[in-house]
Amino acid sequence: MPGRWPQPTGLSAGAYGLGNRRHATADRRGRLVGVAPEVLFEEVAQVVADVLGADAVRCVGVAVAYPGMLDESRGTVLASLVLDRTEPLEVTTALHEVLVRRLPGLAARTDRLHVRLVRDATAIGLGEYLPGGRGEDPFEDSVRPHSLLAISGERHGLGAALIGGAGRAQALEIGHLSVAPDGPRCPCGSRGCLELYLGGPALTAALGVDAVDRLEEPALHRALADALATSEETGRLADLLGVAITGTVNTLGPDEVVLTGLLGLLARAAPAHIDAALDASVVARVRGTRWRTGSVGDACRAGAAQLALQPLLDDPGTWRGKAGDAAPAAADS
């Protein structure tokens, strides 16, 4: 196993309006591992300012998609490789204070600025679940699955979520599902966890992809896709993913499985192995569970924006804009 985790390379933000229309995006690059919470909050406030620009006074919500173990209902990070801490950290209240201080016009046209913390894998799942995300008619019920299991592979690890709509989204610790009981010991206490084989550092190391820390996302994906096309390890790695899919589908019974990020690349390189995993699942056979790779390029930001806008949709009285105004939300990830 690699000796250290690849480091987060910065922040990415998007400004979205009603109907999940994206207005702008912004990125801030730089190392964020081990920074003090107040430094991270300032960085988030700056990328929000960058993406909103002159439209800052029209923002009604900010959702932060975050890698780590969260208590989303309380807006708290429970454990985080980014901040390198094991004690809980309350985020939403502190970030709200920083945003209002740094961007005093941010909530000028709303009674309150909504700040939401969400697991990044949950945001990705919501983005893939959104109607019209793949170009279909958003009002055609048949295009939206009843439940969707999203499994994402990123440079810093694995994530998953079971999605049944904006109000029914549950993050899953699929990285700690044992796929090789005789495998190495995982820091979680179990053995042979999926993350030890398919988490970003392990997957890239197994395929011989070097300098992961220095590669931007498009370059990383190209390098990994090239390696998957030629490596003898591809089938073995896809089989391990298949073990996780079979067990998770048997437990949760989703209508659709979506594989995104680095795991989407693995699935595209070895689709027969994923087909075999669903064929092995009695639940998948009975329910007709299907699978696909991620099809929404901006899924994380789109899903976070949906959550940022949800309080406005639930109670439009909190928005005091002029008739016909579309209220953008900033989604940060």
Q: What is the pLDDT of residue 92?
A: 93
The residue type of 122 is: T
What gap in Å lies between CA 116 and CA 59, rounded to an integer?
A: 13
Task: Identify the bridge partners of residue 329 per DSSP, sorted by sequence position.
Answer: 16
Average pLDDT in the 272-296 region?
A: 93
3-state secondary structure of 79: strand
In the predicted structure, residue 280 carries a pLDDT above the cut 60? yes
Please list the helix, strand and coil fractions of the chain in percent, rounded to the nearest 5, in that order: 40, 25, 35
For the stretch 123-159, pLDDT in tens is: 999 989 875 444 344 334 455 568 899 999 887 778 9
Tell me which of 274 and 297 has the higher pLDDT: 274
Query: Burial, 268: exposed, middle or buried (Cβ in 10 Å; 0-12, 13-18, 19+)?
Result: middle
- Check pLDDT > 70 for residue 116: yes
> Could you give the CA distance from residue 167 to residue 173 in angstroms, rounded to a whole number?
19
pLDDT of residue 68: 81
- pLDDT band of residue 283 (cuts 50, 70, 90) is very high
Cα–Cα distance for residue pair 219/120, rounded to 1 Å? 21
pTM here is: 0.82
